[in-house]
Amino acid sequence: MLSLPLVSSPDGAFFEDLKVGQEYTSPGRTVTETDVVLFAGLSGDYNVLHTDAEHMKGSLFGERIAHGLLGLAIQQGLASRGEPTAAHGCFTGIKWKFKGPIRLGDTIHVRSRIAGLGDATTPGHGLVTMERQVINQRGEVVQEGETAHLLERRKP
């Protein structure tokens, strides 16, 4: 249980505004070499998968790929441009699969759907379960999973 609610949503949707089955589609974003280099610098993850173009020529992928967690972070930003749970909620859990690579220059967007609404142990909040897919420009699902979020309830 989260001990204190950190994110409030006075301008956004409240738990009561959501319905199971509601769907959201984010704008797209092109993942660039710059994004990957900045993420390596920020996270400290300099794995050759993301940083050594020559090594990767001979690999499974044939070229450098974005960090999986960079894709996760970018999809969270994309989702927050429409999905109320991403914009105003906080995470309680994630189950996530990296199904395929995000290559430098790929353009990804997020499709999400409210899969479940339930009670939360944190007072004044509801628990929202989302199904999310990260989709590239060829329509391939490169990441997908289930995310659980706390969202504020309307004050009585």
- 69-128 positions binding other proteins, by CB under 8 A: 69-70, 72-74, 76-78, 80-81, 87, 90-98, 101
CA-closest candidate to residue 132, choices 99, 88, 104: 99
Instruction: Map tokens 């944190």 to a residue.
Output: 122
Residue 4 within binding range of other proteins, rule CB under 8 A = yes
State the minimum distance, in angstroms, from the CB of residue 98 to other proteins: 5
Measured at the alpha carbon of residue 102, what is the angle toward residues 97 and 104, in degrees to the nearest 5?
A: 160
Nearest CB to other proteins, comparing residues 99 and 154: 99
Nearest CB to other proteins, comparing residues 10 and 156: 10
Residue 24 within binding range of other proteins, rule CB under 8 A = no
What contacts 114, CB < 8 A, 6 or more positions away?
Answer: 18, 19, 20, 21, 22, 23, 85, 128, 129, 130
Nearest CB to other proteins, comparing residues 14 and 19: 14
Nearest CB to other proteins, comparing residues 11 and 19: 11
Residue 50 within binding range of other proteins, rule CB under 8 A = no
C-alpha dihedral (127, 128, 131, 136), degrees to nearest 10: -120
As a whole number of angstroms, the distance between CA 84 and CA 96 comes to 20
As a whole number of angstroms, the distance between CA 151 and CA 89 comes to 5
Name which position in 15, 24, 49, 151 contacts other proteins (CB under 8 A): 49
**Which residues contact other proteins (rule: CB under 8 A)?**
2-4, 6-8, 29, 35, 38-39, 42-47, 49, 59-60, 67-70, 72-74, 76-78, 80-81, 87, 90-98, 101, 145
